[in-house]
Amino acid sequence: MVNVSYGIAAAYTIDIFGDILGIDPTTASFTGLSVLLLTRVLTWDDVKKEKDAWDTLIWFAALLMIANELKIMGFTTWFGNLIGDSLSHSMQDTNWVLFYYCLMLLIFIFTISLPAVMLK
């Protein structure tokens, strides 16, 4: 039980003071996991059993890498300017509040109402 407390305390300490120490939160998480593995609180088999967590980690990391590369290549800036210019030309005198509420209505229809109707 003491080993668990030390591992969790180390991970929380690094996570809380990470900005001051210049340590990334991911590094804090893997440090905590390493401490728990080294003190034999967790075994590697325990870690391998969490397949959904590893799937999420791998897919999320891949998506972040793709997003970062698109940003470095300038794609997100180019695409944002393209959409912004196209909307500004087609909606010159439209009130932005009205546009916002119309957008929220579309999001509501496509994410909440439409799937609920299709499930009946």
What does the H/E/C string look like for 54-66? HHHHHHHHHHHHH
Q: What average pLDDT is seen over the chain?
A: 82
**What are the domain boundaries of the chain?**
1-49
Q: Give me the pLDDT at residue 120, please.
A: 61
Please determine, for residue 73, whether its predicted confidence score (pLDDT) is greater than 90: yes
* Mean pLDDT confidence for 4-11: 73
The backbone torsions φ and ψ at residue 84, rounded to the nearest 5 degrees and listed phi first, read -60, -45
* Mean pLDDT confidence for 44-59: 86
Q: Nearest 5 degrees, angle CA 56-CA 25-CA 62?
A: 35
The pTM score is 0.49
